[in-house]
């Protein structure tokens, strides 16, 4: 009898790990993890992860058989050491795991994710929640970050998940009194559920991902082999096709002016900038590989460059973006530990891996594990990435060379078909766009800070939507537990009152009380996370962070190309060196050397950059930077 795959065997924490969990349950009754000394806090986070791995990973299929087998889906030789754009063959024993069209999993049991009744779905009115609790009253900046951090997370999210909207079914939302929406009702497409496979699916629907679940750069490479081939076009030596216009390299556009890349929905200048940057990075990796291995075919160069580029993006997100938005000493140590291990980067580079497990020498190379559930992203993971307050109302644009202010655009003026407006109208280059994003602030992830642009959004395909209303509706529709139940299921204490939830803020508590009609258990997950007090240095809530503790490491630990095939045979010696000796600052300076002055002395490129030249003389709105 063949052994069961790791994903089909329930994960049970070892006795030492259980002891650590129990120890910190006692400690946290007196002191929360973020107020402990740094390295004790790191141990506390490790205890959380052990507990979450044991109790918060659930498959949304009736059995692991739906992930395929090595007999039914044998790995073709061409994908033995390289990624398939469809996400197939990452796990050789369960080849369909994480591929396009596979379901989102859950971080809570499916009995807690039941389809809501119509009353539960619409109570309180999601448009009312958006109007009263999400609508920006004034711009509140996140001064620990720059706007590049906001663009980055959307760039990454487009690699990870995309639900399918129904073309026939819609939610009809009654408008609150005196609402200014132009139609009598707000109509929102229903999320299309996967076809039921058993009785559980009837009561707790599951949903497919249009993207691959893997951290595989599908936003620039596409989520199918056919699309990847199209994006390579006629480019040589493994490169992606680009459009050279004078001194500026653009993404190609089709006859309808749509950018040609792996994922181009919800397009704006931030995405144009980062998609272009990492296409350029891919092509630079190809040049390095061609120089190091001149006998390699174009196909091998492309395959290896894609692996390197994807790993570099994963490393940047793990060791730079996350510590920037969650700027706490324990979190900084923990995230660098995910990549390098507790011995740290310097010793890793000196000694290499000195232990097989993930703790001492990091997750890359530690061996893939699924911890009792087939790998997938989860609905709860999608929910905590609802970060629309990061988007500001305006962006001030400057020259990177001398800091001269060129023009301030509203967000609407750099979105969709107008994404290139500052480049084309102000004769700016991507170096100027990057510099401007580096010194502008994003919005703080807090109550009443979702921009009007997103709450009155007109898309090129003719949709008119309020993203605040949709954010609330989607969590309810997909069975994501509300705030208090979510905390309970993630081993946290539910709030006994609105005042407790808000950390004693009477004004906010009164607003919640009014909208949720006195029932603290009705508070939506997103709203609760926006209201609760934050740990020092955090850009979003500790409640949302509990999903990150589990899933941030899982995306690395489940991936064969990160956790198992982390070697020179797969990546090449030159490719491994590129990943391990480069970060976001290196990427920026490689392609746009003029940015060196504004990045000088900056340890994290997602924190505000230095202003150069005339920028300091700019006297525009305080909301810009």
Catalytic residues: 158
Please tell me whether residue 243 adopts helix, strand or coil conformation: strand
C-alpha–C-alpha distance, residues 465 and 491, integer Å: 35
Q: Is-contact 76 391, C-beta < 8 A?
A: no
- Can you give the C-alpha Rg of the chain in angstroms? 24
Q: Is-contact 445 530, C-beta < 8 A?
A: yes
DSSP element (H, E) containing 136: none
As given in the structure block, the two tokens for residue 283 are 């092509």
C-alpha–C-alpha distance, residues 270 and 420, integer Å: 10
As given in the structure block, the two tokens for residue 119 are 């009353």
C-alpha–C-alpha distance, residues 402 and 616, integer Å: 11
Query: DSSP assignment, residue 406?
Result: E
Tokens 């397009």 found at: 267
Helices 344-351/329-340 angle, 10° precision: 10
For residue 70, CA distances in Å to 2, 89, 171 come to 11, 9, 42
Q: Is-contact 533 136, C-beta < 8 A?
A: no
C-alpha–C-alpha distance, residues 176 and 178, integer Å: 6
Please tell me whether residue 173 adopts helix, strand or coil conformation: strand
Q: Is-contact 83 307, C-beta < 8 A?
A: yes
C-alpha–C-alpha distance, residues 213 and 625, integer Å: 35
DSSP element (H, E) containing 423: helix 421-425
Q: Is-contact 450 389, C-beta < 8 A?
A: yes
Q: Is-contact 413 421, C-beta < 8 A?
A: yes
């Amino acid at each position: 009898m063949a052994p069961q795959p790791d994903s089909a065997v329930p994960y049970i924490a070892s006795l030492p790990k259980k002891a650590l969990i129990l120890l910190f349950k006692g400690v946290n009754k007196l002191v929360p993890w973020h107020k402990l000394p740094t390295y004790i806090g790191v141990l506390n986070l490790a205890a959380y992860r052990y507990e979450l791995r044991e109790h918060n990973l659930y498959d949304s299929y009736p059995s692991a058989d739906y992930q395929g087998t090595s007999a039914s889906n044998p790995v073709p030789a061409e994908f033995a050491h390289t990624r398939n754009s469809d996400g197939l063959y990452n796990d050789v024993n369960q080849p369909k795991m994480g591929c396009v069209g596979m379901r989102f999993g859950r971080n809570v049991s499916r009995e807690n994710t039941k389809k809501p009744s119509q009353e539960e779905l619409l109570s309180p009115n999601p448009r009312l929640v958006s109007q009263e609790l999400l609508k920006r009253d004034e711009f509140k900046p996140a001064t620990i970050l720059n706007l590049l951090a906001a663009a980055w997370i959307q760039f990454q999210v487009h690699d990870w998940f995309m639900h399918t909207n129904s073309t026939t079914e819609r939610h009809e939302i009654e408008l609150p009194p005196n609402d200014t929406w132009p139609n009598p009702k707000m109509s929102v497409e229903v999320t299309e559920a996967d076809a039921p496979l058993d009785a559980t699916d009837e009561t707790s629907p599951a949903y497919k991902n249009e993207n691959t679940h893997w951290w595989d750069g599908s936003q620039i490479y596409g989520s199918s082999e056919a699309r990847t081939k199209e994006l390579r076009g006629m480019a040589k030596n493994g490169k992606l096709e680009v459009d050279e216009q004078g001194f500026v390299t653009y993404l190609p556009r089709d006859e309808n002016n749509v950018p040609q890349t792996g994922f181009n929905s919800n397009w704006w200048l931030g995405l144009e900038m980062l998609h272009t940057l990492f296409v350029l990075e891919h092509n630079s990796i190809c040049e390095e590989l061609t120089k190091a291995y001149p006998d390699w075919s174009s196909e091998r160069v492309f395959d290896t460059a894609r692996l390197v580029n994807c790993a570099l993006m994963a490393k940047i997100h793990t060791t730079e973006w996350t510590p920037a938005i969650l700027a706490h000493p324990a979190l900084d140590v923990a995230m660098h530990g995910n990549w390098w291990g507790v011995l740290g980067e310097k010793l890793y580079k000196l000694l290499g891996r000195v232990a097989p497990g993930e703790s001492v020498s990091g997750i890359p190379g530690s061996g893939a594990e699924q911890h009792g559930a087939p790998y997938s992203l989860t609905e709860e993971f999608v929910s905590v990435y609802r970060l629309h307050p990061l988007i500001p109302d305006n962006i001030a644009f400057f020259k990177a060379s001398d800091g001269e202010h060129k023009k301030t655009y509203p967000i609407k003026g750099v979105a969709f078909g107008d994404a290139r407006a500052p480049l084309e109208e102000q004769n700016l280059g991507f170096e100027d766009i990057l510099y401007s994003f580096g010194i502008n602030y994003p919005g703080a992830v807090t109550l009443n800070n979702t921009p009007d642009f997103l709450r009155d959004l007109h898309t090129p395909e003719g949709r008119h939507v309020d993203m605040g209303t949709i954010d609330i509706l989607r969590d309810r529709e997909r069975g994501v537990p509300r705030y208090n139940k979510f905390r309970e299921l993630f081993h946290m204490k539910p709030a006994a009152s609105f005042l407790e939830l808000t950390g004693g803020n009477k004004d906010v508590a009164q607003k919640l009380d009014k909208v949720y009609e006195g029932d603290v258990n009705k508070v939506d997950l997103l709203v609760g996370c926006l209201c609760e007090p934050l740990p020092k240095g955090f850009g979003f809530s500790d409640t949302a962070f509990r999903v990150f503790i589990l899933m941030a490491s899982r995306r690395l630990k489940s991936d064969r190309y990160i956790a198992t095939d982390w070697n020179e045979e797969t990546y090449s010696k030159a490719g491994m060196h590129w990943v391990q000796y480069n970060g976001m600052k290196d990427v920026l300076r490689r392609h746009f050397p003029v940015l060196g002055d504004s990045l000088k002395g900056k340890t994290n490129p997602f924190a505000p950059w230095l202003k150069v030249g005339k920028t300091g003389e700019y006297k525009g709105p305080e909301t810009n930077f």
